Amino acid sequence: MSTFPYHDRFEVNRRLPEEGRSREEILGELQEMAKEEDAFWETGKCSGTMYCGDHDHYRFLTDAFGLFAHVNSLQRDMCPSSTKFEAEIIAMTLELMHAEAIEGTTPAGLVTTGGTGSIAHAMLAYREHARQERGVTRPNVVKPETAHPAFDKACHLFGIELRRAPVDPETTLVDVDWVDGHVDDETVAIIGSACNYGYGTVDPIAALSDVALGHGVGLHVDGCLGGFILPFGQELGYDIPLFDYRVPGVTSISADTHKYGYALKGTSVLTFRDQALRNSQYFFVTDWSGGKYCSPGMEGSRSGGLLAATWASMVHFGHEGYRNHARRIFETAQAMQEAVRSHPELRILGRPTFLFSFTSDAFDVYHVNDFMRLRGWRFNGQQYPNALHMAVTRPQTQAGVTEAFAADLADAVLYAHEHEGETPRSGAIYGGVAGGMTGDADTFIKAVMAEMMDGYQQIPPEE
């Protein structure tokens, strides 16, 4: 990956151009970049990232977005359509999460900017609600080690102590007894994943529910990844335990519409069992000279285009459409898992769903990654133990992709045996290409990662 992408092909803008360029020229440049970058994931060899992969659907969403892209959904008097879109997105998601099982409270929700946004708003709501209702001043939450780092980020931002619960190395599921023993009177919520990002496994939500109810604390289910596909997997007969509002202790669920809801990046839905919990994180300023200000979440201005496009995606596919795509994804995931199991040197971690992770006790599995990259595959790398994960999406359901995976994996295992005594070239970096970073010192690793992120904002120096 180039440190300064495209600098050798397109003009680098170090300052505003004195005269603007034509729309045609700009669009031509953008189309060239988009076509080349799309070609990579269109092969179906990319784990996760591109959940839909249907350019006709993207064009449909782009049209819907364009009609409302310029609208500020904060100003509902001028754009009442945003109220319709957001309310219906939340209602459809609540129905998918079986909100009909809720008794005694009014369920509610919030459309956010993505999974991290939903998780952050959930943690803020729990902190504020516990402060208001229980007088909690030193809040903590308990999460499985496998739960997404967005919880760590939210706790860092909001001054919440984070307690990481260990997981069973064989099942990858959280140690419920440990969770139970580390909840105290300052705990505002515990966390479970359905499914977790790393292994595609679903935490024992029913057991966590018992803990939450026993201590009188909230239970947030992170369904950011699985929320819009696991319900359909359940309908199709796959062994997926209950994780939604049919479980009595579940008090909130996050589910990303921009993943298996096939909406545009970035949208997610955060739902609550009780409207009062959601409302606790509303923000008000009543004595500002500019007028009375209120905001339902951390964002102020938001484009109505994303709400329109998300609504359009959901009502276009409908229940049947989502179920049909889920069927193909689960079938493909099962076939790819069988290809992994056909090699005794490889071991799948836990009991995965549409996403699976595999390691090796015979060699460093990153040798497999090194070879698969040569064949055009992009996996997500993991550590403790070293592992590779594959999030199956619609591009993998194309004809021939599963067969290519099986054939390339067989060659990769042979390659790994041949290079057992060598250090692999790749490693584990979330959100980027799996590869290129090693080292034991935490400060060194953080410095390298910071330098990598710095590069995302840099332009090449003038010659």
Place of tokens 């998780």: 119
Strand runs (DSSP E) across 274-404, as ranges? 283-285, 293-295, 346-348, 355-360, 380-382, 387-391
Amino acid code (one letter) for 290:
G
Taking only the tens place, the pLDDT of each residue in 408-433 is: 999 999 999 999 989 998 865 555 44
d(CA 105, CA 271): 13
pTM of the complete model: 0.91
Q: Which is higher by pLDDT, 294 or 401?
A: 401
* Least confidently predicted of 167-171, 256-260, 298-302: 298-302
Q: What is the pLDDT of residue 21?
A: 94
Q: What is the pLDDT of residue 40?
A: 87
In the predicted model, what is the mean pLDDT of residues 256-267?
A: 97
Band of residue 439 on the pLDDT scale cut at 50, 70, 90: very low
80-313 CATH, one of 3.40.190.170, 3.10.590.10, 3.40.50.10190, 3.40.640.10? 3.40.640.10
* Least confidently predicted of 10-14, 94-98, 162-166, 222-226: 10-14
Question: 385: cis peptide before it, omega within 30°?
Answer: yes
Q: What is the pLDDT of residue 432?
A: 45
Place of tokens 């360029």: 21
d(CA 131, CA 146): 27
In the predicted model, what is the mean pLDDT of residues 444-451?
A: 66
Question: Is residue 264 scored above 80 in pLDDT?
Answer: yes
Taking only the tens place, the pLDDT of each residue in 126-165 is: 999 999 999 999 999 999 999 999 999 999 999 999 999 9
Which helix (DSSP H) or strand (DSSP E) does residue 206 occupy?
helix 205-215
Q: What is the pLDDT of residue 297?
A: 86
Q: What is the pLDDT of residue 449?
A: 61
Q: What is the pLDDT of residue 7?
A: 86
Dihedral over Cα of 325, 328, 334, 340: its sign: negative
Q: Which is higher by pLDDT, 463 or 325?
A: 325
d(CA 307, CA 112): 10
437: left (phi over 0), alpha (psi -120 to 50) or beta: beta
d(CA 221, CA 240): 14
Give CB contacts under 8 A, 24+ apart, made by 322-327. 322/228, 322/229, 322/232, 322/260, 323/232, 323/235, 323/236, 325/260, 325/262, 325/394, 325/397, 326/229, 326/232, 326/233, 326/236, 326/260, 326/354, 327/232, 327/236
Q: Are 125 and 272 in contact (CB under 8 A)?
A: yes
Question: Is residue 435 scored above 60 in pLDDT?
Answer: no
d(CA 352, CA 171): 9
Most confidently predicted of 1-10, 301-310, 436-445: 301-310
User: Which of 24, 2, 31, 44 has its CA nearest to residue 400?
Assistant: 44
| For the chain, percent of residues with pLDDT exceeding 90 | 81
In the predicted model, what is the mean pLDDT of residues 180-202?
A: 97
Kindly list the domain boundaries of the chain, sorted by start residue. Answer: 80-313
Q: What is the pLDDT of residue 436?
A: 39
274: left (phi over 0), alpha (psi -120 to 50) or beta: beta
User: Which of 423, 412, 436 has its CA nearest to residue 364?
Assistant: 423
Distance of CA 246 to the CA centre of its chain: 23
Q: What is the pLDDT of residue 433?
A: 43
Q: What is the pLDDT of residue 5?
A: 87
d(CA 394, CA 77): 39
Question: 266: cis peptide before it, omega within 30°?
Answer: yes
